Amino acid sequence: MIHPSREQTENLKAPITSLPQDAPETRLGAHLLPGGEQTRFRVWSTTAEQVEVKVNGTLHPMTALGDCFFEAVLPVGAGARYLFVLDGQEVPDPYARFLPDGVHGEAEVDHPDTYTWKNIGWNGIALDKCVFYELHVGTFTPEGTYQAAQAKLPYLKELGITAIQMMPLAAYDGERGWGYDGVAMYAPHAPYGRPEDLMAFIDAAHGLGLGVFLDVVYNHFGPAGNYLPSYSPSYFTERFSSAWGMGLDYAEVHMRRYVTGNALMWLDEYHFDGLRLDATAAMQDDSPLHILQELAQEVHALGGTHLLLAEDHRNIPEVVTEHGLDGIWVDDFHHEVRVTLTGEQEGYYGGFQGSAAELAQVVNRGWKYEGQFWSVTGEEHARGRPADALEAPSFVYCIQNHDQIGNRALGDRLQQHAQVSLQQFRGASTLLLTLPMTPLLFQGQEWAAATPFPFFSDHAGELGHLVTEGRKKEFAYFSDFAHLEVPDPQARSTFESAKLDWRAKDGGEHARTLGLYKSLLKLRNEDSVLQDHSRQYLSAGNDGEVLWVRQCNPAGERLLLWNVGKTEVKVGSLRLPHPLPTRVILHSEQTDGPPATLTSLPVGEAVLLGNV
């Protein structure tokens, strides 16, 4: 067996808490030392009395340093495989930087300089320049890999996307899944490719002028493969609860550092431009400094432009104004659009009425609920606060995302609803992409893709059955889960059905829709009026079931009209509080050039008018 030298052991006893958040000298797990010929293995365990590391099949003792730390420095380099052994029990490393055989297997010692970055001059992207494109690596292409996704980057650039939003990549149990049940937060999910493949994807995106963001889950761990409790139960607490049991204890310094160090890794080592924080309302913390605020401080201290976005249904501007995050995914806009088009009132849609007037309220106020009573069954409470302090880019709007498609029984998309025509879908798209708020598209939305995005996972045995049944119970308030044959999340065919069919985008109505998206994104980027993303120049209202949205700033005026009613409307008969611009800039049904004049607005269609 190989033992650390006396000099190495003395160096390891330096105070760990006095060093920076994610300093290599204090990292848990495996850290390759300068020169690449030695690796430092470190463990913190409050339960084990004897700790060893098994490297390439050979056991090595680890020295107890006090305060529950154990360490060994061994003459092994990148690529070595290892497991920790706690009192004789082999346990995977929850701090692993790569798990080639999955979350229950050996970790691989990672070499931080494996990839040589090319676009080192990239400095990030401002939020007001972001047009997000949310994608799931496993279903974005037939191959489901980083390399295959990289080949599609020129397409996204040509489309007019400026920022890619990747669904979670942290390693999770099984081969396929959405990624929200990650358990090894530092290890990119192996079936998508190696860490250097992910780096190459991000580097290539930056070379095209595209930002890349990552969805991270810091509010719970998945139900299988979470080995943190084997090292110490104090990572978790009964003071809070999560989707799979006890809540994360952010008051415990090691759990807090697990999260902040992970955020810094993605941004600093992988060069991501920002993070979308899943379900921040569930990140419960009774510490003096809330974990969200600390994350914002650490991230913004990196230099350059690094953004933090919250998924938060509470409609509380304090996420930005006090905690310091940059933006919030806003449910209210999506829900109001969907209810307006479909009339659905089940579940959380019951809190929305849908109409041109309701849409105008959301546009004017940023979100609908700013203190009103939320009467959805089981969640009755006053919801939200006024968002006057937030500028338009801090509101991330969408008409589709992974949740709002995948939470449906069949994973069907908005335009596949029986009550939604393609004209209405294209009208909604025109509203989304001409507002000053930050828009987000979901993969394939730009050509009205017919491929569904159902929930899928890959948990073995009884756990797989429990996940399937749990989904049905979670969405029991949607009647489709009771009377439709819901695809089995565990079946590979469910996963395969979600893969985009790229052949479809160039034909018929798909091509027509894609043409509209290209026109809208080009206009959003080049039109001097739409380039101003300030709410002070924004107003909205309605005349019956025609929504109007006016942006009038020093560069000129733009007026959107969208007919969300059931009958065609004569444009000349509209009663608006301001003169009607006469120039047609864009019509949602005529992507080959707008008509010179527009006398009527058919059902579902939208038009953008201007005066210059």
Residue 429: name the closest of 586, 292, 216 by CA: 586
d(CA 202, CA 146): 9
Task: Pick the catalytic residue from 52, 134, 181, 311.
Answer: 311
d(CA 142, CA 148): 8
DSSP annotation string for 252-296 = SHHHHHHHHHHHHIIIIIS---EEEETTGGG----SSS-HHHHHH
Angle among Cα 553, 364, 524 to the nearest 5 degrees reads 50
Residue 17 in tokens: 């808490």
The answer to whether 213 and 272 have CB atoms below 8 angstroms apart is yes
Residues 52, 19, 256, 305, CA torsion sign: negative
All residues at 6 or more sequence positions from 606 whose CB lies less than 8 Å from its CB, including other chains: 426, 427, 430, 431, 560, 561, 562, 563, 587, 588
Task: Pick the catalytic residue from 108, 278, 331, 527.
Answer: 278
The residue assigned the tokens 């700013």 is 370
Q: In this structure, what is the dihedral angle of CA atoms 431, 564, 427, 334, given to the nearest 10 degrees?
A: 50
Query: Which residues share a beta bridge with 42?
Result: 29, 71
Cα 382 to chain center, whole Å? 27
The answer to whether 149 and 140 have CB atoms below 8 angstroms apart is yes
Whether 278 is catalytic is yes
Q: Residue 75, Cβ neighbours under 10 Å: how many?
A: 11
Residues annotated catalytic, as ranges: 278, 311
